[in-house]
Amino acid sequence: MAKTRIASIKKEVIIGHGLPTVLIGERINPAGKKKMADALRAGNLDIICAEALSQVNAGADIIDIAVGTFGVDEKDLLPKAVQAVMRTVDVPLCFDSAKPEALKTALKVYQGKALINSVNGGAKSLDYVLPLVKEYGAAVIGLTQDEQGIPADPDRRVVIAQKIIERAEGMGIPREEIIIDCLASAVGADQGSGLITLETIRKVKATIGVNITLGASNVSFGMPGRDLINNAFISAAISAGATSLIVDASKAHTAILAMDFILGQDQRARRYTENYRTTHKKKLQ
């Protein structure tokens, strides 16, 4: 099954089935965060650097960077944010924007092998984003949606995943460079959506075998006690076949370590026990 390599100058992250689940820290994103949005509009990058540091200290393997909000020119600000975060933390970065011009300006300044977030199955997205993946030798998250939106049927999501991979391979981009996002959405708004996502994960793993990701926190939108719901979903998603997750490291890290341990994806329980030891500041007997 496919393995994906993402890297900074100093660190390499390998994503793959049967390996520890890769945690992509989601907190550098102004959605729902007024202070961060105001700071970004003012060109102040201190808040996002502080968030990047705390996500890495909380266990993030990769940092997702989104700066899109009202009044921000992403093409100008995303590369500045990428440079500031590169100076602050040494983990690899993921560029989160729907604007190909912003992805390009970020790729130009990045030192390492980036993860682009994202391309989808729509003709425009494929035409604009895949050439960037090829030109910069990046990896990319492929969303299982297209111009018509997000299919409710898992089989139709798998068809979109196949289409993205075929287009990429036709351009000489190996399927290892595509991580399929099976798309988690608010279960509070649609009772069946959690199961649809989990079924899509199982089918993508069985039929295509590429890496799989999700913005897992989406499942709990509008609900009280979001962390509990998110962590339950994280366990289910990992056991279904997700190999990386876009989540808040400070909330999700231990849930991921616990599930990896249970599934035998944590050699001699090293990651689980080392995290336990450092967070509890004492030796295990």
Q: Which residues bind ligand THG (CB under 6 A)?
A: 26, 29, 31-33, 96, 117-118, 141, 181, 184, 215, 217-218, 246
Q: What's the min distance (Å) between Cβ of 203 and ligand THG?
A: 18
Question: Rounded distance, CA 97 to CA 278, Å?
Answer: 35
Amino acid identity of residue 214, one-letter, is L
Q: What are phi and psi of 132, to 5 degrees?
A: -70, -40
CB of 248 to ligand THG, least distance (A): 7
Distance between CA atoms of 27 and 133, rounded to whole angstroms? Answer: 24
Which is nearer to ligand THG, 179 or 271 (by Cβ)? 179
Q: Which is nearer to ligand THG, 74 or 96 (CB)?
A: 96
| Residue 29 or 211 having the CB closest to ligand THG | 29
In terms of CB distance, is 65 or 266 closer to ligand THG?
65
Residue nearest to ligand THG (CB): 215
Please report how close the Cβ of residue 280 comes to ligand THG at its closest, in angstroms. Answer: 25
User: Minimum Å distance from CB 198 to ligand THG?
Assistant: 15
Classify 259 as helix, strand or coil. Answer: helix
Smallest gap from Cβ 132 to ligand THG, in A, equals 16
Question: Is the Cβ of residue 24 or residue 266 nearer to ligand THG in the bound state?
Answer: 24
Would strands 139-143 and 115-120 be described as parallel, antiparallel, or unpaired? parallel
Q: Which residues contact 263 (CB under 8 A, 6 or more apart)?
A: 238, 239
**102: helix, coil or strand?**
helix
Dist. CA 257–CA 279, nearest whole Å: 13
